[in-house]
A and B are shown apart, each in its own frame.
Chain A
């Protein structure tokens, strides 16, 4: 299915630019053209299709659905909805408050909010096209597991103690009142769905296109110029410290998942272990300082720090686990 991009790259790199195949430069340019064209087409088509399908799903509907669910189901559903509901990360606070004031436990709300950035359409599409469906499925399962267990853990330690006082009051008030009658769900016409999908596609593509170029460019450079075996020797799975290092390195790279995933493709092909890659990917996508600082409005420092440390530890564990398992696979 993706062969057309290989042929396009053959034509552009070897015929039009008349580079010689099987040279370092020819190889790197070919890799660059193939990946950039593939990612662009995939992003535009798939973001549009996904947005079309989920245009009528919004956080208000998710809240009404989650309110009053029992805990165990709540974590799983919260995480599941977090994966598929479209919402801008800058809406984290209003979403948190909206859920909380409907009496939804903090843990379930956090299952939603933790999973949401981890499993987003851009990251999933890139993983799928560059690292294949097996890695992608693994990534989604692990991402949801982190969200579900993270939420359950926060409830277990009674995280609501460490909310800001007005958020605590909203939660208490929400638990004692019934939600107002569920609003009529508005039916979206096809034209409205198209408008939503077009806006989403333009917005997301406009934000990420340059990171694709940067990421694939770096990946191509690595691909062509890092000596074979170097990564395996120095960053292979015998080196336990590479996983926490990858997690820490991922934090400042936030929001550039688009740029980081093509680099990872190249690293994996050069022998970086799967667990290290997975940990790096999750940390890049989900652990963001700016966003955590925003949550300060609703959480006390203690809770913020707990959530952040919890995320970093779980990504590290995921990395070690998969590095350990990969030798058995």
Chain B
């Protein structure tokens, strides 16, 4: 199971990012656990400077915008 973290201060873009990942994972039949991180210390830990950011299995994949569908698909393969 993939551990997905969505980093952001709780704005709508972060919500949408989390929903998008959950939806695509369900479509592809991949098991994921999506958590939202709003703590500033976590941003610092991953060196993230723009949100929403996506961390999958402790690896920073993306930051600064809602990811595109094809990007998310590629991460979840």
Contact = CB atoms under 8 A, between A and B. Distances in A.
Given A90-B8, A93-B43, A98 B49 contact: yes
A95 B41 CA distance: 12
B30 interface: no
Interface residues of A, number: 23
B44 A199 contact: no
Interface in B1-60: 7-11, 13-14, 39-41, 43-44, 47-51, 53
Contacts of A92: 9
Which of A87, A93, A95, A294: most chain B Cβ within 10 A?
Answer: A93
Given A59-B49, A59-B50, A98-B49, A297 B40 contact: yes
Contacts of B14: 90
A298 B43 CA distance: 12
Interface in B58-77: 64-65, 68
A223 interface: no
A172 interface: no
A88 B1 CA distance: 31
A94 B49 CA distance: 5
A95 B39 CA distance: 14
B11 A94 contact: no
B48 A94 contact: yes
A60 interface: yes
B20 to A, nearest CB: 14
Interface of A: 58-60, 63, 87-88, 90-95, 97-98, 101, 166-167, 170, 195, 199, 294, 297-298
